[in-house]
Amino acid sequence: MIDVRQANARGVANLGWLQSRHTFSFGHYHDPAQQGFSDLLVINDDRVAPAQGFGAHPHRDMEIFSYVLEGALEHKDSMGTGSVIRPGDVQMMSAGTGVRHSEFNHSPDEGVHFLQIWIVPGRRGVEPRYQQVHFSPADKRGQLRLIISPEGAQGSLAVHQDAQVYAGLFDGDETATLTLPQGRYAYIHVARGSIEVNGQRLGEGDGARVRDERELTFSGGEDAEVLVFDLRPNELPQMP
């Protein structure tokens, strides 16, 4: 079963310097029917004005990753990490016992568009860590590239949870099929463009909860960029 959540049903935040769309409840947006899915707690689709951003603030016991679509995002944290994240880069921060960080638009004159995604960890109190990996368009073109996994397999970023995340670029006749292990759930997020999943058309910003499906076939892409989450069969996130 593929249960679609359309882009225009998402929560909205407009702070002037920040335009955000919330797939799940976050900040001032609260929907009792949208409290996450499996271990996936947050998908925020953020657009930040030039030279603006999120000042230093704390997190703990959360796996947080950023996926940049356009522009450049500047990261600093209390672990001493400083980096700039551009399209193709994936940043993973395991907050663990506690970390402070800031995320700013690196450009003085161009906007930045990125996804901020939170996954509930499998255990509390891990040592904080930062990872960043670049995946080229060729890595994702016409296929689903593993970008996040528990053990950092195939050059992916490691996450403290039984979850795998794939990214793909699809256009025209390009197609790929993901086989899910028995009993697993999945979540699909279309970052841009549009694509068919098992014959069902999803547009930019659309998401879909997936239950009781062994195969997901992606086809008919129109400049599509998609993230796919292979998740435990839990309905809602639960802290360990």
Q: pLDDT tens across 120-178, in order?
A: 999 999 999 999 999 999 999 999 999 999 999 999 999 999 999 999 999 999 999 99
Residue whose structure tokens are 């935040």: 13
Distances (CA, A) of 16 to 19, 52, 53, 109: 7, 10, 11, 15
d(CA 230, CA 228): 7
Mean pLDDT across the chain, nearest whole number? 96
pTM: 0.97
Asked if 94 and 128 count as a contact pair (C-beta separation under 8 A), the reply is: yes
pLDDT digits 0-9 by tens, 81-105: 889 999 999 999 999 999 998 897 8
Topology annotation, domain 2-231: Jelly Rolls (2.60.120)
Return the structure tokens found at 88: 């193709």
The DSSP bridge pattern shows strands 144-149 and 157-158 to be parallel
Q: Which letter does DSSP use for residue 139 in this model? A: H
Return the structure tokens found at 193: 């463009």
- Phi/psi region, residue 51 (left: phi>0; alpha: psi -120 to 50; beta: rest), is left
3-state helix, strand, coil in the chain (%, to 5): 5, 55, 40
